[in-house]
Amino acid sequence: MRFLFSLFLLFSVSLVKAQQKVATTNSAAGTVQRPLLVVGIMVDQMRWDYLYRFYDRYAANGGFKRMMNQGFSCENTFIPYTPTITACGHTSVYTGSVPAVHGITGNAWYDYEAGRMMYCSEDKTVKTVGSTSNAGEMSPRNMLTTTICDELRLATNFRSKVIGIAIKDRGGILPAGHSANAAYWYDSRTGDWITSTYYMNELPQWVKTFNGKKHVDAFYEKGWNTLYPVNTYVQSTKDENDYEGKPFGADQKGFPYDFKKFIGKNYGAVSSSPYGNTMTLMMAKEAIANEELGKDVITDFLAVSFSSPDYIGHAFGPNSIEAEDGFLRLDRDLGELFDYLDKTVGKGQYISFLTADHGVAHVPGFSKEHKLPGGAVDDNKLVSDLNKQLKETFGKENIVLGAANYQVSLNNKLIDSAKIDRAAVVQMVMNYARAIKGVDRVFELDELTEQPMNAIVKDRIANGWHPKRSGDIQIIFAPGWIDGGPTGTTHGLWNPYDSHIPLLWYGWGIKPGKSNQEVYMTDIAPTVAALLRIQMPSGCVGKPILAITQ
């Protein structure tokens, strides 16, 4: 009898403690209710229509249907600026701002002060941690504002843990913010996950252990074949097309892809396969476990970005079997992530949002095949041809410094010192660009407000323009046209195929439903801020989404 009483007492105490833990974890600051963990999920190059195009093939226990049916879907979410490019997208989601404010105007831009192209997350003051390459010379210092992760750290007096993870350095670094505990990215030269001295001087043991297992070689051993018989991929075009890229070598023309030749040699090829997503998932789970994210009463934040859909999409296009199979596999990975979070953090104790940094245009060859408008403009040829013509006219070389983010940058210092008529240079550049097939209009950015053009397009260009990090002359392509060559595709414009992105909410405090109200990428951070009851980021221009916060 005494034994039974002791057992009952032990059970009662354990039950009270469990109830207290749930109540306490929902009151991270005493009376302020917050989830234990926020998981921000970026899917690099995910068009909104993928949610429904592949819906019937997503698993019932996978990630997409779970979020769509048990969570809330903002069906009409747009990017409110151009260029719609990876670094801009990741930054804008987490800052609630636009390139005109946060300063990340592209993956790279011509920096007039430095006199060279500047990569978005480069930082020559830090060193690589985790490999001997220079792939770790990165930090968030080029970003001019805070992120929602920074604001969470500030709100908890830096007791919250924030970790960013992505294959791409910019996908892990920029969302996690300036004050993150860590950001990790993949070094394609070594096959290891690395970081920089901005965050730490040595990798944690769990990352070293993860790297030591060389998971990438195990993926290469498997190769890549379709989940289902290839003839069942009726939502995609045929397997082999001349307009598709060959990221695995000219000899690899379609499924199944043999990766054995990459073992121990080429660590970058995995990024162009669904295994890049799976490897990112594995790294995220290790971070949750070893950093004990969501384990105490202080809300933590995991910012994870799945980079492989972008590599796959650029090479094969949105209508390829490769893209479809990649998303079917990503759906399974997301389902595994949520199962893991339910088990380790607790179902209903975390909140997650899923969105994309941009969409993607159809491959021009595909468009031509189906009589759709579109084509490609070679912007490299544009620069070389312009400099040749300008030299013949003005006697100076390299008057055009480059073309990036659909803008032409002029060598204004040279123009001034050589007393060249700048207006004549600008006019020559614009006349040349206007004559290119696929170019819709060209104008000097300083005269944007005077342009007679659609107000939405004008606003999006203005939101992407930063005076110190943008070019001098804006080029707008016609719908369906991209900058590129004869194979593959890209993104970067204002059009819906590039700017209409998914936005799903799931977990703590989220009521199931959907809305077709137009909202924006920049509304995500202030919505998270409202849910967590913390300050929005320092350059935020978005607004909380009432369908989520009410």
Taking only the tens place, the pLDDT of each residue in 200-243 is: 999 999 999 999 999 999 999 999 999 999 999 999 999 999 99
Q: 113 pLDDT band (50/70/90 cuts)?
A: confident
Question: What pLDDT is recorded for position 379?
Answer: 82
| pLDDT band, very low/low/confident/very high, at 2 (cuts 50, 70, 90) | very low
Q: What is the set of domains in the chain, with CATH numbers?
A: 33-368+495-549 (3.40.720.10), 375-478 (3.30.1360.150)
Cα three-residue angle 357-183-542, rounded to 5 degrees: 40
Residue 14: the pLDDT is: 43
Taking alpha carbons only, the member of 359, 351, 491, 464 closest to residue 45 is: 359
Q: How confident is the model at residue 13 (pLDDT cuts 50, 70, 90)?
A: very low
Q: Is the pLDDT of residue 10 over 80?
A: no
Q: How many CB atoms lie within 10 A of CB 114?
A: 8
SS (H, E, C) 446-498: HHHHHCCCCHHHHHHHHHHCCCCCCCCEEEEECCCEEECCCCCCCCCCCCHHH
State the catalytic residues: 86
Q: Among residues 260, 104, 270, which one has the least CA distance to residue 171?
A: 104
Q: Which residues contact 205 (CB under 8 A, 6 or more apart)?
A: none
Two structure tokens written together for 216: 């990438």
- The pTM for the full model equals 0.94
- Average confidence score pLDDT of the chain: 94
Cα dihedral angle (509, 53, 461, 529), rounded to 10 degrees?
10
Mean pLDDT computed over 8-28? 40
For residue 49, what is the DSSP state? Answer: T
Q: Which of 279, 330, 239 is nearest to 44 (CA)?
A: 330
Residue located via tokens 């913390």: 534
Q: What are 270's two structure tokens? A: 């995995």
The candidate with the shortest Cα–Cα distance to 89, out of 310, 256, 288, is 310
Pairing mode of beta strands 162-166, 182-187:
parallel
- Kindly report the length of the chain: 550
- Looking at the predicted structure, is the pLDDT value of residue 28 above 50? no
Q: Which two tokens stand for residue 286?
A: 């290790």
Rounded mean pLDDT, 160-187? 98
CB of 202 closer than 8 Å to CB of 249: no
- The owner of tokens 């499924």 is 255
* pLDDT, tens digit (0-9, with 9 covering 90-100), for 507-538: 999 999 999 999 999 999 999 999 999 999 99
**Burial environment of residue 231 by CB neighbours within 10 A (0 to 12, 13 to 18, 19 or more):** exposed
What is the rounded CA–CA span in Å between residue 438 and residue 370?
A: 18
The rounded distance, in Å, linking the Cα atoms of 239 and 367 is 16
Q: How far apart are CA 168 and CA 176, in angstroms?
A: 13
- In angstroms, the CA 173 to CA 332 distance is 25
Task: Indicate if the pLDDT at residue 63 is higher than 90.
Answer: yes
pLDDT tens-place string over residues 392-441 = 999 999 999 999 999 999 999 999 999 999 999 999 999 999 999 999 99
The pLDDT value given to residue 550: 86
Residue 246: alpha-carbon gap to chain centroid: 23
Angle of helix 321-341 relative to helix 308-316, nearest 10 degrees, comes to 170
Instruction: From residue 384, give the alpha-carbon distance in Å to each of 214, 249, 397.
Output: 43, 29, 10
Q: CB of 351 within 8 A of CB of 33? A: no
Token pair listed for 338: 């949520």
**Contact 334/64 with Cβ under 8 angstroms?**
yes
Q: How many helices (H) and strands (E) does the chain have?
A: 20, 19
State residue 80's pLDDT score: 98
DSSP run (H or E) holding 432 = helix 422-434
Sequence-ordered alpha helix ranges (H) in 85-213? 86-95, 99-102, 148-155, 169-176, 205-212
Handedness of CA 11, 12, 18, 19 (dihedral sign): positive
**With bands split at pLDDT 50, 70 and 90, how would you rate the model's confidence at 11?**
very low
Q: How far apart are CA 44 and CA 357, in angstroms?
A: 6
CB 483 within 8 A of CB 406: yes
What is the structure's pLDDT at 82?
98
227-237 pLDDT tens trace: 999 999 999 99
340-392 pLDDT, tens per residue? 999 999 999 999 999 999 999 999 999 999 999 999 998 888 999 999 999 99
Query: Among residues of the chain, what percentage have pLDDT more than 70?
Result: 95
For residue 550, give both structure tokens. 């009410």
Banded pLDDT at 26 (limits 50, 70, 90): very low
Summarize the confidence of residues 184-192 as an average pLDDT: 97
pLDDT digits over 252-284, tens only? Answer: 989 999 999 999 999 999 999 999 999 999 999
pLDDT value, residue 112: 86
Helix runs in 291-353, H state only: 308-316, 321-341
Residues 6 or more apart whose Cβ sits within 8 Å of residue 344: 288, 289, 294
Question: Band of the pLDDT at 78, cuts 50, 70, 90?
Answer: very high
344, exposed or middle or buried, with CB in 10 Å at 0-12, 13-18, 19+? middle
